[in-house]
Amino acid sequence: MTMEAGLRACRVMTDWAAWAPNTAPLGSKAGLGASAAAAADAPKPAFEPKGAVFGAQAAQSVITLQARKPASIVIRGPDGSVYFARQMAAGQAYRAPMVVKGLIVDVSDPLAFDVYANGALEGQLPSTQTPLAKLAG
């Protein structure tokens, strides 16, 4: 290949407009395949009790933590006092009361707990110690 042919090939490969098939902004569903767009629009799974539910009544709670597998959970107040502590079995859940501010959840394994906000699944806990206010939005 001659030098001139090589330079022409480089110009063609760096024509970024040709390499940008999906120029939709992040968070946009434009450019997603039909199945990916449908999954993004699908409703989040709702909380379904699969064992004992501890803590506040549903009407007095926004955040519910449900154990996916056996794991320990401790709910502490802002001063470090323990509000709830238990070795949870799979399916058991804890509803955090809305009236107590500054609660922190401390767990043995963050991936062992599903987080539900307003009854809808949001995912797993982000770390072993998490302020409950961070989970509420």
Digit-coded pLDDT (tens) for 76-120:
999 999 999 999 999 999 999 998 889 999 999 999 999 999 999
**For all residues of the chain together, what is the average pLDDT?**
80
Sign of CA dihedral 73, 75, 78, 81: negative
The backbone region for 6, taken as left when phi is positive above 0, alpha when psi lies in -120 to 50, beta otherwise, is: alpha
pLDDT of 61 reads 94
pLDDT of 71 reads: 98
Which sequence spans correspond to the domains of the chain?
3-41, 53-135
Which pLDDT score is estimated for 43? 82
Over residues 11-24, the pLDDT tens digits come to 444 443 443 444 44
| CB count in 10 Å sphere of residue 77 | 13
